[in-house]
């Protein structure tokens, strides 16, 4: 995603833990993080910054395969 801002603006990116589940009730958590190619704090002098989100899946032993879905929270705090 791309974050755009005005002059001399700082943007903090905050990511919250996500819980994903399938239709059978199987679930796991996902720890989202901003890629090392991006930064969680961006100081803009006008323009935009690409933010790359990744995540680490916390799977249980024998986790059932399938389609999992669920919401996660991304907060952009502008200063």
Checking DSSP bridges between strand 9-15 and strand 74-78, what pairing results, if any?
Answer: antiparallel
Q: Is residue 77 part of a domain?
A: no
Is pTM beyond 0.75? Reply is no
Structurally, the chain folds into a number of domains equal to 1
In a domain, 72, yes or no: no
Place of tokens 């704090």: 41
- Distance between CA atoms of residues 50 and 2, nearest Å: 4
Reported as a single tens digit per residue, the pLDDT across 7-21 is: 667 777 888 999 999
Does residue 47 fall inside a structural domain? yes
Q: Kindly state the tokens that stand for 15.
A: 């990511």
Pair of tokens at residue 3: 């974050």
In a domain, 35, yes or no: yes
* Range list of H helices, 1-79: none
In a domain, 6, yes or no: yes
Q: Is residue 52 part of a domain?
A: yes
Specify the pLDDT at position 42: 55
């Amino acid at each position: 995603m791309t974050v755009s801002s005005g002059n001399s603006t700082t943007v903090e990116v905050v990511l919250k833990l996500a819980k994903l589940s399938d239709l059978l009730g199987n679930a796991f958590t996902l720890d989202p993080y901003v890629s090392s190619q991006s930064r969680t704090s961006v100081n803009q002098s006008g323009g935009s910054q690409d933010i790359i989100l990744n995540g680490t899946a916390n799977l249980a032993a024998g986790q059932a395969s399938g389609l999992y879905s669920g919401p996660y929270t991304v907060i952009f705090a502008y200063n």
